[in-house]
Amino acid sequence: MAILVLRIGHRLVRDDRATTHLFLAARALGADIAVYSGQKDLNVETSLNKVKKAWGGSFKLDYTHSWKRFLEDHKSQGWKIIHLTMYGLPMKSTINDIRSDPANKVVVVGGPKVPSDVYEIADWNLSVTNQPHSEISALGVFLHELFEGNELLKEFTHGELTIIPQAKGKKMTRQTSTQASS
Amino acid sequence: MAILVLRIGHRLVRDDRATTHLFLAARALGADIAVYSGQKDLNVETSLNKVKKAWGGSFKLDYTHSWKRFLEDHKSQGWKIIHLTMYGLPMKSTINDIRSDPANKVVVVGGPKVPSDVYEIADWNLSVTNQPHSEISALGVFLHELFEGNELLKEFTHGELTIIPQAKGKKMTRQTSTQASS
């Protein structure tokens, strides 16, 4: 089951850090692909590419001009759509159905002004609490539930840096490749 | 067990949105108090107070000039300190000890340049993955594990707005008090 995170309506400068945090969370917590619509932002793309180079893994980042066509295309190819929204049904009542459905999934993350079409096209409108918080924490908790904690064991290969977990302080190893890339 | 989230080294403008997201996540996911150090920021405080007025609950926000003295004072009063860091021990190996310890807890959230003192003063340096992501997603996943999902059932009383969860669309009720506040 591939998991793709779609961020709608990205704005240059204003959303730079929030979208970067969102995609780093997506990557670290087991999603395979992130896609965004709105204003194209080289800052976000550069940040993500730097992290991927340093820390490894196969996470992909892409951009779409039209989130609506993107969702319709994916739906017609059998993907299911999950929309994270404080107005949706509680995660506890929906997560089992989502987990047991083998289809690839798009997880849509909007913002305060999500077009009503998103609610309609979604197979699940899902709330991680019905309180306002952050799309970043909502995505984190959702992915953690979806993968039942196994995302924390995910390995990221072909990176330059690896942390050796410590009770106190920091320990990190750096891999220096002696092979020329082909 | 009271849960307090301490954000170290807040910077005006630059961290405005990230700290607001962090504290909204803390509030929505069951923490009782948020405290920050660094530059005092009325934008963050106003945002949080607006959310509290509209959405209820007893979440408190405070500021401290010295995070170090704050941690030392709390430690001397029996609080335990958890520091969320990608360099720490995996959550899976530490969460049971944290859950079963009845002491009140401070959850310290830093940033890229946390002083080494924090690692020393912490009772647990805990990693939510050893990959870079976001303090907002890390806090979300940590609180969700700490409370074992029960935070999602938390009620927020005395607010003006309440969401009625829907499969499609948005439904919200607004409480208009007819009593003058005393």
On average, the pLDDT of chain B sits at 95
Q: For residues A17 and A23, what is the distance between their CA atoms, to the nearest angstrom?
A: 10
pLDDT digits (tens, 9 = 90+) for B15-52: 999 999 999 999 999 999 999 999 999 999 999 999 99
Give the percent of chain B with pLDDT over 90. Answer: 93
pLDDT digits (tens, 9 = 90+) for B95-146: 999 999 999 999 999 876 899 999 999 999 999 999 999 999 999 999 999 9
Please tell me which residue of chain A has the smallest CA distance to B162. A130
Q: Residue B176: helix, strand or coil by DSSP? A: coil
pLDDT digits (tens, 9 = 90+) for A124-141: 999 999 999 999 999 999
User: Number of residue pairs across A and B with CB atoms under 8 Å?
Assistant: 169
Indicate whether A112 pLDDT > 70.
no
- Residue A182 pLDDT: 34
Half-sphere exposure in the Cβ direction for A108 (13 Å, CA): 34
Please tell me which residue of chain A has the smallest CA distance to B17. A18
Q: What is the DSSP string of B119-137?
A: HHH-SEEEESSSS---HHH
DSSP-H helix ranges across chain A? 16-28, 42-55, 67-76, 91-100, 116-121, 135-146
On average, the pLDDT of chain A sits at 95
Q: What are phi and psi of B82, to 5 degrees?
A: -115, 130
ipTM of the complex: 0.95
- Residue A180 pLDDT: 41
pLDDT band for position B176 (cuts 50, 70, 90): confident
Of B57, B125, B163, the CB nearest to A86: B163
pLDDT digits (tens, 9 = 90+) for A132-180: 999 999 999 999 999 999 999 999 999 999 999 999 999 999 987 544 4
- Residue A175 pLDDT: 86
Q: pTM score, two decimals?
A: 0.96
**B-contacting residues of A 62-91, CB under 8 Å?**
86-91
For the segment A79-88, the average pLDDT, to the nearest whole number, is 97
Flag the least confident range among A79-93, B6-20, B133-147, B165-179: B165-179
Indicate whether B179 pLDDT > 50.
no
Residue the block writes with tokens 């909502």: A138
Give the percent of chain B with pLDDT over 70. Answer: 96
Angle between helices B135-146 and A16-28 (to 10 degrees): 50
Q: CA separation (Å) from A28 to A80, B56, B156?
A: 22, 32, 31
Write down all domains in chain B, each with its CATH number in brackets: 3-156 (3.40.1280.10)
Q: For residues A163 and B128, what is the distance between their CA atoms, to the nearest angstrom?
A: 12
- Residue B28 pLDDT: 98
Q: For residues A61 and A6, what is the distance between their CA atoms, to the nearest angstrom?
A: 10
Q: CA separation (Å) from B162 to A61, A87, B112, B154, B179?
A: 36, 10, 37, 13, 19
Element (H, E) at B42: helix B42-55
pLDDT band for position A110 (cuts 50, 70, 90): confident
For the segment B153-167, the average pLDDT, to the nearest whole number, is 96
**Residues of chain B found within 8 Å of residue A92, distances taken between Cβ atoms:** 149, 152
Please indicate whether, in this complex, the C-beta atoms of B163 and A55 are within 8 angstroms of each other. Answer: no
- Residue B112 pLDDT: 67
- Residue B3 pLDDT: 98
- Residue A148 pLDDT: 97
**Residues of chain B found within 8 Å of residue A145, distances taken between Cβ atoms:** 144
Shortest Cα distance, chain A CAs vs residue B74, angstroms: 20
